[in-house]
Chains A and B, each alone.
Chain A
Amino acid sequence: GAGVSQSPSNKVTEKGKDVELRCDPISGHTALYWYRQSLGQGLEFLIYFQGNSAPDKSGLPSDRFSAERTGGSVSTLTIQRTQQEDSAVYLCASRHKRGGGLTNDFKETQYFGPGTRLLVL
C-alpha cells in the first residue's frame, strides 16, 4: 500500500503479558518514529530509527519497552510485562530521506499510520 500500515489495529491483553506491535513504513522512507497517545493527551515521542539504528530512544518510558527495525523497513515495538498505564494508541510515522533535491516540506513531513489501540486489563 501507499501509506504507513500498523498491526494489529486493536489489542486487548492482560496485565503482565507481553505484546508486539508492528509498523510497515512507506516504501523508501528511511526514518521511522514511534509515538503514543494516552487518553486526553497529545502525542508522546517514544523512539526514532534512522535506517536500522535508533539514535534516539529517549522517549521510551521504561526498560519494559523496546523496539527494533530490520532491513530498514518494518519495525516492531515490544512491551514486556504490560501494565494498565500502557493502555494507549501507539502510532508509527515515517519520513522521507533527507536530501535528494527535495523541498524542505517534503523532506520534513512525517506520515502516520492508523495506530494500534492497546488496552491492558
Chain B
Amino acid sequence: AQSVTQPDIHITVSEGASLELRCNYSYGATPYLFWYVQSPGQGLQLLLKYFSGDTLVQGIKGFEAEFKRSQSSFNLRKPSVHWSDAAEYFCAVAGQGAQKLVFGQGTRLTINP
C-alpha cells in the first residue's frame, strides 16, 4: 500500500525567501505524485504532478518539485514566496492501477511580511 509523509506540520518563512516543503512516499514501484494547495475554507487545487520522464516538474504559481527515486521524495520548492502563498499544502501519491489518491497530513505555510 502507498503512504505519504509530510514531516513538517507548520513552516514559517519571510516574504521573498525561498521555500522547500518536504514529502516522502512509500511505494514499491514508480508512483504518480501530486502537490495540491488549499487556501483557508476552500477546496484543493492542483499545483503540479509527476507521472514519468523529467524528474523536475514545473507547476503553476512558480512552484516546482523534484522526484528523487533514491530518496523516495518529491519536495516542493519556490525560489521566492509571496504573501498569497500562505496556505495548506498537500502531497499525494497514487500507485499504478490505484483508483484513489493517498494524501499526506499537510504542511501549513505562514508568510511573514
Q: Do A and B bind each other?
A: no
